[in-house]
Amino acid sequence: MEKTPSHKVCPVERSGALENPLRRLVQSPAKILKPYLKAGDKVLDFGCGPGFFTFDIARLVGETGFVYAADLQAGMLEKVRNKITSCNMESRIKVHKCDESGIHLNDTVDFILAFYMIHELDNQDITFQEFKKILKPDGKILIIEPNFHVKKENFEEMILRLERRDFKIAQRPKVFFSRSVLIENDNKNTKTGPGL
């Protein structure tokens, strides 16, 4: 049995609950993400779990797009790997193992999805710093948090942390049982110049 890295992380043994077919009725991945993704996009599904969103993302970005399914737990990534083979999506999806010190992705993406997982992080600032490096200048981040775990004041505090990293709010989409925000680079505030 795989050791769960943090007490806050959903264990692999409970991953079936994340894929409950009834969940698609209230949190349809395609419906949530379609407004933000286009063919050819490169996407980071950060904290992908067993891949509830991963495969819909792959379909939305099409044959010219690409998805990094990133997770802390090898057991979750193994579940995604098995589905990739059965869905014939090897050319569109790559599993990526994070660790507790960071994402460690050596690529840039157009879009980052962080669904129900930012509250699990021990240090949000480190992750947001990595988001800044990974995200293309015109890229976007969709953060969705469970309103039954994350209080409104904590969610707003998270947004302030993002704004300190030169991100800005683009939208506040409505997602069932959730608090959500679409974030983009604040290019007006991005510091440029020698030595910066």
pLDDT score of 1: 34
What's the predicted TM-score (pTM) here? 0.87
SS3 106: coil
Q: Where are the alpha helices (DSSP H) in the chain?
A: 15-18, 23-26, 29-33, 54-61, 74-87, 124-134, 152-164
Q: Are 126 and 150 contacting, i.e. CB atoms less than 8 angstroms apart? A: no
Residue for token pair 């949530």: 32
Q: Which amino acid is at 25?
A: L
pLDDT score of 18: 56
Q: What is the mean pLDDT of the chain?
A: 87
Q: Is the pLDDT of residue 22 over 70?
A: no
